[in-house]
């Protein structure tokens, strides 16, 4: 499976916003949707359920560290599967650290606003031209720094982010193609 680094997609809700982003990355890969029934809701649920275990461990470590500085964390993960089962991926819903900001027929935008930075994660589903069961999934992350601490916080996060997102994308696709 090939994951490509690319520009912010024109079709993304994030590209229609007039916000100036301090950081942007986008990763895209193709997958087969044999029954042509994968929706942004399924993509959103896959975001929370199919990441590599090492990513979950890094996120848990991140939560322990940033709690000291008063930053938002994902909180307790008790009944995670129950929360995921009832998650509809609708605007305003929250699962862990991630709030749903927007949902269209082909995209869901998750993220959070905190005192140091605001981030958004777009999960964009698109059909490939002349293909009936092949689609693309693009994960885009945008960050706006609110202060110097946001810039400082993101310095060590950035290199990990460039490893985590492509690994997560591969995990999503494996889950979706089951």
Calculate mean pLDDT across residues 47-54.
73
Which residue's entry shows tokens 């889950």?
175
Contacts of 68 (CB under 8 A, 6+ apart): none
The larger pLDDT score, comparing residue 166 to residue 82, is at 166
The alpha-helical segments, DSSP class H, found in 4-73 are: 13-16, 40-49, 53-67
pLDDT per position as a tens digit, 16-35: 877 799 999 999 999 988 88
Contact 137, 155 (CB under 8 A): no
Average pLDDT, integer, range 93-103 = 89
State how far Cα 103 lies from the chain centre. Answer: 13
Closest C-alpha among 8, 40, 43, 26 to residue 173: 43
Query: Using CB atoms within 10 A of its CB, is residue 24 exposed (0-12), middle (13-18) or buried (19+)?
Result: middle
Asked if the model's pLDDT at residue 56 lies above 90, the reply is: no
Q: Which domains does the chain have, with CATH numbers?
A: 4-176 (3.30.530)
CA pair distance 88, 85, nearest whole angstrom: 8
Residue 143 contacts residue 23 (beta carbons within 8 Å) = yes
pTM for the model: 0.85
Q: What is the DSSP letter of 19?
A: P
């Amino acid at each position: 499976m090939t994951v490509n680094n690319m520009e912010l997609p024109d079709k993304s809700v994030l590209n229609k916003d007039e916000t100036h982003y301090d950081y942007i990355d986008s990763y895209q890969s193709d997958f087969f949707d044999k029954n042509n029934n994968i929706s942004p809701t399924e993509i959103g649920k896959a975001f929370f359920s199919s990441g590599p275990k090492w990513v979950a461990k890094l996120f848990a470590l991140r939560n322990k560290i940033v709690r000291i500085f008063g930053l938002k964390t994902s909180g307790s993960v008790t009944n995670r599967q129950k929360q995921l089962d009832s998650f509809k991926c609708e605007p305003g819903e929250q699962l862990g650290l991630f709030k749903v900001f927007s949902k269209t027929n082909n995209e869901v935008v998750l993220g959070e606003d905190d005192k140091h930075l605001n981030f958004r994660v777009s999960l964009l589903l698109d059909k490939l031209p002349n293909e009936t069961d092949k689609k693309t999934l693009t994960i885009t992350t945008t960050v706006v720094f609110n202060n110097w601490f946001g810039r400082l916080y993101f310095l060590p996060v950035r290199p990990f982010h460039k490893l985590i997102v492509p690994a997560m994308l591969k995990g999503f696709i494996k889950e979706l193609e089951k």
